[in-house]
Amino acid sequence: MAFTIGTAGGHGVVRAEGELDVGNAPELREAITAALDARPSLVVDLAAVTFMDSVSLGVLIGAHNRAREAGGGFAVVCADERVARIFRITGLDQVFTIAATVEAAAAALG
């Protein structure tokens, strides 16, 4: 699992692919922390993620809270129905801004 950090529309972007689980959650947290250190708003691109466990959800919740505390925004890009279902089941689809593309997520954050 590799995480890449970039930008889109003035917001930080962390891209992930494959499976997100307890084994790589620390790497995800590090990438998100680096992106939030540079910019207060963040898009986490999960378009290429096929599985996500509860530890990874916890990392995303922490990132959401940190972005909000810094006066920024937080959005998630989700294309896989299995991952989208996790957000619906947990109610996080009502908490996070969820978009189909990085561009749409960045636009939603303003």
Residue spans of the domains in the chain: they are: 4-109
Q: What residues does 97 pair with on adjacent strands?
A: 75
- Among the listed residues 68, 79, 84, 86, the one whose alpha carbon sits nearest the alpha carbon of residue 101: 79
Tokens of 36: 């939030």
For domain 4-109, say whether CATH 3.40.640.10 is its number.
no
Contacts (Cβ under 8 Å, ≥6 apart) of 100? 77, 78, 79
Q: How high is the pLDDT of residue 66? A: 97
pLDDT of residue 106: 97
User: H helices then E strands: how many in the chain?
Assistant: 4, 5
Q: What is the pLDDT of residue 34?
A: 97
Would you give per-residue pLDDT tens digits along the chain (110 residues)? 789 999 999 999 999 999 999 999 999 999 999 999 999 999 999 999 999 999 999 999 999 999 999 999 999 999 889 999 999 999 999 999 999 999 999 999 99
DSSP readout, the chain?
---EEEEETTEEEEEEEEEE-TTTHHHHHHHHHHHHHH-S-EEEEEEEEEEE-HHHHHHHHHHHHHHHHTT--EEEE---HHHHHHHHHHTGGGTSEEESSHHHHHHHH-
- The whole-number pLDDT of residue 2 equals 80
Residue 104 · residue 79 · CB < 8 Å = no
pLDDT for residue 90: 96
